[in-house]
Amino acid sequence: MIVWRAIAAAIFLVTGPALLAAEIPPDARRSGYAFMGPDTRAMQDDDTANPGMLFVLDGEQLWKKKTGSADRACADCHGDARTSMKGVAARYPAFDKALGRPVTLDQRINLCRAIHQQATPLPYETRDLLALSAFVAHQSRGNPITAGDDPQLKPFVDQGRDLFMQREGQLNLACTNCHDDNFDKRLAGAPITQGQPTGYPLYRLEWQTLGSLERRLRSCMSGVRAQAYDYGSPELVALELYLMSRARGLPMETPAVRP
């Protein structure tokens, strides 16, 4: 009896935490692309039909345009984005040594503007910031996501994971309740995805525009009737970082199209 109890306890100790975590194994990770219909897939696949490509083209112009008191363009330091920016977005959010914390691609663009161009920051979700972000991230299309590999990011990845697992709002639901435990099912008729952020900034048909992952996270928070975190808040950056690390190995799709 005692032996059996000890074995049962040992099994519980080993499997207990894994059962609680319910995280998606690497080989079962799927982009939101896999959950959508053929029309939306076709729109994403064809660059002439993908509305996100208009933002990418705008971003290319902005990349070459001199701005700020320094009268300097992104291209003046970084050269041809096709080579210098390739794979960069797949590593973001990345650790910023000066700040001692992770920054998103949007924040990196605004840090560059402040420090090197002496220009004012572009507000979140404005066309210019989305366009620059889309242009930079587009250079990583097809590259596997590796964000979160830097060991300095570990505490921030953990913070994001805790937030992902935390029930919140009047409906008292956590991200994990839908996106780990119930993907492939339907919420009011719409498929629930795994929440893999492979194609941001992306064109959402519901929005009729390009939007950031932070916008998407805030709208999920409103959905569970929680007080959404502010754009650029440490919590949203940590969530973005955790989600990107959770999508490790999936190819970047920017600019993705989603329903």
User: What positions carry a catalytic annotation?
Assistant: 220
* Comparison of 97 and 186: residue with beta carbon closer to another protein: 186
Tell me if 120 contacts another protein by CB under 8 A.
Answer: no
**Residues in a beta bridge with 72:** 67
204 is in an annotated binding site: no
Give the separation between CA 66 and CA 85, rounded to whole angstroms.
Answer: 18
Contacts of 122 by beta carbon, 8 Å cutoff, 6+ apart: 109, 110, 113, 128, 129, 132
Tell me if 19 contacts another protein by CB under 8 A.
Answer: no
Give the separation between CA 80 and CA 106, rounded to whole angstroms.
Answer: 19
Binding residues for another protein restricted to 228-257, rule: CB under 8 A: 228
> Which amino acid makes up residue 57?
L
Contacts of 21 by beta carbon, 8 Å cutoff, 6+ apart: none
* Comparison of 158 and 181: residue with beta carbon closer to another protein: 181
- What is the chain's length? 259
Strands 186-187 and 190-191 turn out to be: antiparallel
* Comparison of 203 and 229: residue with beta carbon closer to another protein: 229
Give the separation between CA 201 and CA 213, rounded to whole angstroms.
Answer: 7
175 is in an annotated binding site: yes
CB of 165 to another protein, least distance (A): 12
Segment lying near another protein (by CB under 8 A), choices 88-96, 101-109, 160-168, 199-207: 160-168
| Binding-site member from 5, 83, 100, 186 for another protein (CB under 8 A) | 186
Give the separation between CA 156 and CA 239, rounded to whole angstroms.
Answer: 9
Strands 186-187 and 101-103 turn out to be: unpaired
CB of 180 to another protein, least distance (A): 12
5 is in an annotated binding site: no
CB of 224 to another protein, least distance (A): 9
Give the separation between CA 23 and CA 18, rounded to whole angstroms.
Answer: 8
77 is in an annotated binding site: yes
Structure tokens at 109: 């663009």
Tell me if 21 contacts another protein by CB under 8 A.
Answer: no
Tell me if 226 contacts another protein by CB under 8 A.
Answer: yes
Binding residues for another protein restricted to 187-216, rule: CB under 8 A: 187-189, 192
91 is in an annotated binding site: no
* Comparison of 15 and 182: residue with beta carbon closer to another protein: 182
**Which residue ranges make up the site for another protein (CB under 8 A)?**
166-173, 177-178, 181-182, 185-189, 192, 221-222, 225-228
